[in-house]
Structure 1
Amino acid sequence: MMDLELWKITFTLYGVISLLYSTCYCEKAPNYSFMKPATFAPQVSYFDYIIIGGGTAGCGLAATLSKGARVLLLERGGAPYGNKIVEQMSGFGANLGDSNSDNNLATSTAQPFVSEDGVVSARARVLGGGSAVNAGFYSRASPDYVAKAGWAGSLVNESYAWVEKKVAFKPPMLEFQSAFRDGLVEVGVKPYNGFTYDHIEGTKIGGTIFDHNGKRHTAADLLEYATPDSTVVYLFATVHKIMFQTKGQYSKKPRAHGVIFRDSKGGKHKAYVKAGEMNEIIISAGALGSPQLLMLSGIGPKAHLKEKGIQVLVDQPMVGQGMTDNPMNAVMIPSPNPVEISLIQAVGITDFGTYIEAASGTTFANSIIHSIPAAYKTSNNLQDKDQKTQLYDQKAHEFMNSLADGKLYAGLILEKIKGPISSGHLLLKTKNPSDNPSVTFNYFKEKKDLNRCVKGMETIIKVIKSKSFSQFRFSELSIEGLLTTMLNLPLNRCPKPANDTGTFTTLEQFCKDTVMTIWHYHGGCQVGRVVDKDYKVFNVSGLRVIDGSTLYASPGTNPQATVMMLGRYMGRRILQSRIAASK
């Protein structure tokens, strides 16, 4: 199957993308006078801070720093405003899949890639970063996570609140999400904690970045806080390299002092930080982009850089290490009743390290519908099934065939594991910053991760069977049949066992065979390995990395709230240091 076909099939499963979602946009897009295409950039410019990446961390960071310094924000993609696929909830799948069919920088908001493990994924390429392409769930990190990260609790809470004024909302809880929530509580994911942004064990309703009109708000909205006269944002600006001073006083510890970037027409530009120890370059290019850019700039594993023909500035073998992605596994459940379009609203935070979430929609793409009957045919070939199971699967097969040319009401219940423990690495494929690097996540390499997946799937099965959820499932559809359906959907390119029959055997094998991403990958520039506790890159000066690449674990159930908070948090700390140094 071609990459594009695999891409579309995988993300329509998440996206529930076919319903035309009626929305009234009562708010206008911000009028950012400081935001322009990079073709308007001068050949040479000077700033106090240069931020590479206008994503989930970068936008809030730029807005904060603009209160006390002149800031340049460079974003390789375009703006999210006025793009209905980005702004409407129903566009979620197309946002990640169909909009990238031509992989055109000017039109696509995410760049697809396939990990070396065989899992299809995406990296944001738009102002607002992941918050412009994700499922919208907003939830804070736990107090334990904050303490372990060494962050100051009071400033963390202030920074979360600053973010929430612009982008976080209480979601509507309609029938499907309510039934899912009640099912979680019924099967023992307790207590029920109601609506909260806080990360608390049990079942809760989290926040969303979709407002009451169904319009997405992104980290780009945090630029509304920026001081216009001291902020410049260039779009379609791809940074190729960070420049360093290496002579005189900087011969032993190189200092980052500028960047080379190109606009959408290939025009070359240079931007420098002004003289002064407090002025810096900050990389916020994401878990793939930040380690990639460090390597392209000569900071990384010596042997690998030499192999790629890159002059080594600093031999730093930990750049690109610790790459981790939270594996996701899911079950699609056909419904006898219509379901609302919803992404993530309720979540079950279990006591064994698994998070259970759900999405729903009115129809799925025909490519998925047509693939389901074949899965049930395969299921019926098993010789050792009891008579009752064979009857259920026969009815399921007939039901799926009847839907092949019509509409399929369905929901999706998924689980992702906390952490996780398994990790991998990132390497360059080419010296072109627009190309994807090679990344390996080693899903389920650690047995504890696989055990958590099994327990998560067991919880999902209990929810499907619960009384609370009964109105959204066909009683004649067996759990084995639903799992077999998932096994036969082309969800990834992971190698299958030699004796694979396409039928459900064990939950352990199911987890391995149907593993997908939930786009919460992190690592590559971790604190203590590549950057210090102030996010300064080791063995150079004037350079920090502030984004999800610095994390060891995904915060809370979903990371976007914490990554946005981190941009604000570090912006405040950097400004405080700047003020102190000026006295």
Structure 2
Amino acid sequence: MDSECCKITTCLVALLVGFMFHGLCYSEKAPYYTFLKEATSAPEISFYDYIIIGGGTSGCPLAATLSENATVLVLERGGSPYSNPRMTDMTNFATSLSDISPTSMSQQFISEDGVYNARARVLGGGSVLNAGFYTRASAHYVRRVGWWQPLVDQSYQWVEKKVAFEPPMLEWQSAVRDGLLEAGVLPYNGFTYDHLYGTKVGGTIFDREGHRHTAADLLEYAHPERTTVLLHASVQRILFTTKERQRPRGYCVVFDDEYGGRHRACLNNNHPKNEIILSAGALGSPQVLMLSGIGPAHHLRAHGIKVVVDQPMVGQGMSDNPMNLLFIPSPVPVEASLIQVVGITRADSYIETASGLSFAYSWAQTLADNYALFSNQTGQPSMVTPEAMANAFETVQSFVNGTLRAGVIIEKIMGPISTGHLQLRSTNPNDNPSVTFNYFQEPEDLRRCVEGMKTIINVINSRAFSKFRYSEMSVQALINLMVNIPTNLRPRHVNSATSLEQFCIDTVTTIWHYHGGCQTNRVVDQDYKVLGVDALRVVDGSTFYYSPGTNPQATVMMLGRYMGVRILHEREKLSYEKN
């Protein structure tokens, strides 16, 4: 029994990170962009109407839209998602995810809360690495943020023409869907992109052939002669004019290519609406602002950074939706599936599932080899010995040739309400900043997690799901199993009657939906213009107070299109008034 438990435990360790990034595939007919270039090809100085820092989930649709009527430069610190043919092989996704080299597509970090995490470092951003779930924000969210609903709808549709599909529904996903209905997560809303209470089948960015479509594909809309995308362009800082009695105005971006060559990209002087736009994500955008002199003055001075604007709210309001899950061994084979079904409960927790993933081997090997390195980088004590991880690797190796007969059911809470903060570790833009999320600091977040776990328990105990669980294995046994899994670096409270509250706290992981740091009405205004300076905006998830829907990627892509349309409208309006 101990041996079997060990096998289940070590498989879950590998599965946990793997399932959210499962299925890294790209179409064999991947777009060819003439405007995609290495930063080494950039001149010492160049000029554009718009300079976008970050070619991620929001930056790509923003650039494509602005290129309709202006010259656009995108500075992306990562590489192209189309450049490596191995990326089209689904079985190689874990290698890319767990790669810790300076040029990998993902950059691992561990929050000060002791939770493993990752940030994208590739054109297309998180849409290149995630589980592919596509769902819109609720109408309530749109009203609360202050967006104009008709343009929101048009922008979602613009995105969906390129990247969104209806997923196939096989046995595991169907069983969880029916189990949610049995558990009272009603009504059944069928297949829809809309965010509605009840149970639904959501969209996916994987097509029927299993090929992934990302935000980078939205650059197919871009005007090729007015668009330039530079890869491996590491932005060092934004430069501002600081004339006396005038507001600072962004005018240039300093960036390095992959060999350390220094370049400048500057705004053309031919139009007063030309500007720099930060779309570097919830970690990158506040980090670049601070490196450029916009942030808490005392913190900037401590790092030797000249203060342009004392803005204490930069880096504040950081949130990460906590994820908790149960691992369920199955007595029968299960298909490999990603997030397709979601239960949106009245308790404001979201229930999702994935199954049959067989990519544990590569990830387990990397973790075994590099666990000590990751732990030492955080300065936090290791909760798992290297020997234990080596044993995990050996056990997982036995599963490499087949699909795991198991799955997970997860819950994510709405919001969350709990917030933390972000600070610089150094003045090197390639270093991860220090970030604290304060999971479950607010009691309401913990209550939502408990209610979500109760719903998962009801699904597991449902008749619809009975085919996929061992009848002799109680739910409490599954809970105890999870408590013993080293899913994070947090302390464990192991006993035979672990409360759901303690379970949520001890076993929390990320669902990679972190946001905040440049929030509206704190760091940017309602038009996403940075307060206290001119010619600078932030358009990405760092502006959010709450994560939209069950997965934010659709809304972040929509926001890029939405704000691109609005910015062009401002530009055209000014030109019309002048004429």
Q: Which residue of 2 aligns with 1:151?
A: 147
Aligned residue pairs: how many? 536
Q: Deviations over 1:262-309 (max 9, x none)?
A: 011111000000113200000000000000000000000011111111
- 8 Å contact kept, 2:295–2:311: yes
Matched-pair contact (CA < 8 Å) for 2:530–2:538: yes
Counterpart mapping for 1:493-508 below 5 A: 493-496=489-492, 500-501=493-494, 503-508=496-501
How far apart are the structure 1 equivalents of 2:224 and 2:512? 32
Picking from 517, 520, 537, the partner of 1:524 is 517
SS in 2 for 1:261: strand
For residues 113-512 of structure 1, the aligned pairs below 5 Å read 113-247=109-243, 251-275=245-269, 276-363=271-358, 365=360, 405-406=398-399, 408-496=404-492, 500-501=493-494, 503-512=496-505
Letter matched to residue 541 of structure 1: D
Tell whether the 8 Å contact from 1:62 to 1:223 is kept in structure 2 after alignment.
yes
C-alpha offsets along residues 370-406 of structure 1, whole Å, 9 cap, x if unaligned? 9xxxxxxxxxxxxxxxxxxxxxxxxxxxxxx999945
Q: How far apart are 1:68 and its partner, in Å?
A: 0.4
Distance 1:157 1:438, change over 3 A: same
Q: Deviations along 1:53-104, whole A, 9 cap, x unmatched?
A: 000000000000000000000000001115466555555544432xx23x23
Shift of 1:361: 1.5
Cross-structure match for 1:36: 37
**Partners in 2 of 1:134 and 1:309 — Cα distance?**
36
Residues 87 and 563 of structure 1, relative CA distance in 2, 3 Å threshold: farther
* 2:570 counterpart SS class: helix
Q: Which residue of 2 aligns with 1:563?
A: 556
Determine helix, strand or coil for the equivalent of 1:355. Answer: strand
Aligned twin of 2:388 = none
> Contact between 2:330 and 2:468, CA under 8 Å: does it hold in 1?
yes
Q: 1:247 to 1:559 in 2, by over 3 A?
A: same
Measured in 1, the distance between the counterparts of 2:83 and 2:46 equals 30
Taking the aligned partners of 2:158 and 2:517, their CA distance within structure 1 comes to 28
The residue type paired with residue 129 of structure 2 is V
Relative to structure 1, is the Cα distance of residues 320 and 69 closer, same or farther in structure 2, using a 3 angstrom cutoff? same
Instruction: Provide, for residues 316-367 of structure 1, a one-character-per-residue CA deviation record: whole Å limited to 9, x for no partner.
Output: 0000000000000000100111111111000000001100000011546369
The answer (yes or no) to whether the contact 1:66–1:226 under 8 Å persists in 2 is yes
Give distance in 2, aligned partners of 1:84 and 1:138: 25
SS in 2 for 1:229: coil
Alpha-carbon separation, structure 1, partners of 2:396 and 2:80: 39
Match of 2:4 in 1: none
> Identity of aligned pairs, percent?
62
- Cα distance in structure 1, aligned partners of 2:134 and 2:443: 29
Name the amino acid aligned to 1:215: H
TM value normalised by structure 1? 0.88
DSSP-derived class of the 1:228 partner:
coil
Where do 1:4-15 residues align within 5 Å?
10=13, 12-15=15-18
- Maintained 8 Å contact 2:251/2:266: yes
Q: 1:462 to 1:92 in 2, by over 3 A?
A: farther
Cross-structure match for 2:53: 52
Q: Which residue of 2 aligns with 1:572?
A: 565
Q: State whether residues 92 and 134 of structure 1, in contact with CA within 8 Å, keep that contact through their aligned partners in structure 2.
A: no
Instruction: Note the residue ranges of structure 1 that are not aligned, 5 or more in a row.
Output: 1-5, 371-400
CA distance 1:26–1:257, shift in 2 (3 Å): closer
Shift of 1:487: 1.0
- TM-score, normalised with respect to structure 2: 0.89
- Report the AA paired with residue 30 of structure 1: P
- Give unmatched runs, 5+ long, in structure 2: 1-8, 366-393
Structure 2: distance between partners of 1:197 and 1:409 = 30
8 A contact 2:21–2:129 mirrored in 1: no
Q: Which residue type is aligned with residue 78 of structure 1?
A: G
Is the partner of 2:82 in helix, strand or coil? coil
CA distance in 1, matches of 2:408, 2:548: 23
Tell me the distance in 2 between the aligned counterparts of 1:410 and 1:339.
7
Structure 2 distance, partners of 1:405, 1:32, is 42
Change (3 A) 1:92 1:327: farther
> Structure 1 residues 307, 148: closer, same or farther in 2, change over 3 A?
same
In structure 2, the CA distance between the partners of 1:503 and 1:50, relative to structure 1 (3 Å rule), is farther
Helix, strand or coil at the partner of 2:69: coil
Is the contact between residue 92 and residue 135 of structure 1 (CA under 8 Å) also seen in structure 2?
A: no
The offset of 1:7, in angstroms, is 13
